[in-house]
Amino acid sequence: MDTEKFLQYVQAENKVEPKDMMPEDYRKLLVRQISQHAHSEVVGMLPEANWITRAPSLRRKMALLAKIQDEAGHGLYLYAATETLNNGEIAADRDSTYNDMLSGKAKYSSIFNYPALSWADIGAIGWLVDGAAIMNQVMLMGNSYGPYSRAMLRICKEESFHQRQGYEILMTLCRGTKEQKQLAQDALDRFWWPALMMFGPNDDASPNSQKSMNYRVKRESNDSLRQRFVDVTVPQAEFLGLKIPDKNLKWNEETGHYDFGDLPWDEFNEILKGNGPCNKKRLETKRKAQAENAWVKEAAIAYASKVKELTK
Ligand code: FAQ
């Protein structure tokens, strides 16, 4: 199938499946995006895992554990979806893509290079980080690659539980003592701008958007999703009685949207270069885990080959 026909096919809302013919640049775009999405899920477990042993009650600990396990599951679906694109020329097997993340060659979401400093940050991560993730992933449910689009369906359902558990943590803190409410405000102050940056650079600085839109991978632009996130999140902050840390935030009657200030793009670019507050720590943790747990993988492979031999 030539590229023109392929474009017509995906633009008519047809799904592409693993064994179908597809242009090389479509395959590359998907491997890049889906594997980076998978890396985000598994690196994203780290800031929250830091609070499992310090959750304030058994109920909170159980919910947090379940949420973090869900993120591991999301990583698994997404690595599996990436592997369906492996064709010998473009390496999409688990080891190749995972090693690209460990070596710093492949990206993962900028948001996970910030620390979770207080229990309120766990609330802010659920509310804002999972909230931003859902906003982007609902759009991705309609992407043209079947395995990615189906993975998104399930992931979105789980993310909405995550978002609500985060909001509920903050609601409890905001109804508590003055100090607890201040913890919630501090968490919002720290996570607001990083959450907005999750949507990626502004549209005019987004090199992948045009191709991704043409191929129906991305269905909405970075800026339009960011705007929608601001529009739905501001009233949620008001309900909590918290203040969004942006002096330029203002409802615009004419556009029917909130106007908001410029994002700290220098900070974003530094994170992408590996210089964020936790970039080095996150990769070190993942490298250490891979080395220490290598025996589990070896044992599983040895067991699988023995079973295969015995059942021949
Ligand atoms: N961080 O041309 P664009 C989650 C990179 S899941 C780091 O606009 P594109 C769940 C981008 O890769 C969160 N890098 O790129 C959870 C590109 O570099 P490349 C992750 C970023 O792909 C919650 C360059 O900048 N979600 O949170 C970021 O068209 C709690 C130029 O950008 C996904 O991955 C960033 N924020 O649009 C888990 C969703 N933004 O690759 C645990 C799938 C951009 O050319 C706990 N991905 N870059 O070297 C997407 O929808 C898209 O890839 C975008 C970026 C929208 C992220």
Residue 222 CB neighbours (<10 A):
21
Q: Which residues pair with 250 in a beta bridge?
A: 259
Q: Are 249 and 259 in contact (CB under 8 A)?
A: yes
Q: Which atom of ligand 1 is nearest to the CA of 48?
A: 46
Q: Which atom of ligand 1 is nearest to the CA of 41?
A: 38
Q: Which atom of ligand 1 is nearest to the CA of 45?
A: 42
CA distances from 266 to 43, 199, 263 (A): 22, 15, 9
Residue 285 CB neighbours (<10 A):
15
DSSP reduced 3-state for 252: strand
Give the pair of three-digit tokens for residue 225: 């999703």
Residue with tokens 């650079």: 201
- Expressed in angstroms and rounded, the spacing between residue 185 Cα and the centre of ligand 1 is 26
Q: Which atom of ligand 1 is nearest to the CA of 44?
A: 42
Q: Whose CA is nearest to atom 51 of ligand 1?
A: 136
Q: Which atom of ligand 1 is nearest to the CA of 209?
A: 29
Verify whether ligand 1 is closer than 6 Å to residue 200 (CB atom): yes
Give the pair of three-digit tokens for residue 285: 């943790």
Closest of 79, 98, 72 to residue 148, by C-alpha:
79
Residues 6+ apart with CB under 8 A from 231: 257, 258
Q: What is the mean pLDDT of the chain?
A: 97
Please report, to the nearest 10 degrees, the dihedral formed by the alpha carbons of residues 177, 181, 186, 187 taken in order.
Answer: 110
Q: Which portions of the chain are predicted below pLDDT 50?
A: none
Please report, to the nearest 10 degrees, the dihedral formed by the alpha carbons of residues 268, 262, 36, 187 taken in order.
Answer: 80
Verify whether ligand 1 is closer than 6 Å to residue 121 (CB atom): no
Would you state the pLDDT for residue 1?
66
Residues 6+ apart with CB under 8 A from 75: 38, 39, 41, 42
Would you state the pLDDT for residue 207?
97
Give the pair of three-digit tokens for residue 13: 């809302």
Q: Whose CA is nearest to atom 52 of ligand 1?
A: 33
Would you state the pLDDT for residue 88?
84
- Phi and psi at 122, nearest 5°, equal -65, -40
DSSP reduced 3-state for 87: coil
Q: What sign has the CA pseudo-torsion 54, 160, 257, 236?
A: negative
Would you state the pLDDT for residue 134?
96
Closest of 173, 174, 194 to residue 128, by C-alpha:
194
Q: Which residues pair with 258 in a beta bridge?
A: 251
Q: Whose CA is nearest to atom 15 of ligand 1?
A: 208
Verify whether ligand 1 is closer than 6 Å to residue 82 (CB atom): no
Verify whether ligand 1 is closer than 6 Å to residue 126 (CB atom): no
Residues 6+ apart with CB under 8 A from 45: 68, 71, 72
Q: What sign has the CA pseudo-torsion 137, 138, 143, 146?
A: positive
Q: Whose CA is nearest to atom 53 of ligand 1?
A: 33
Verify whether ligand 1 is closer than 6 Å to residue 123 (CB atom): no
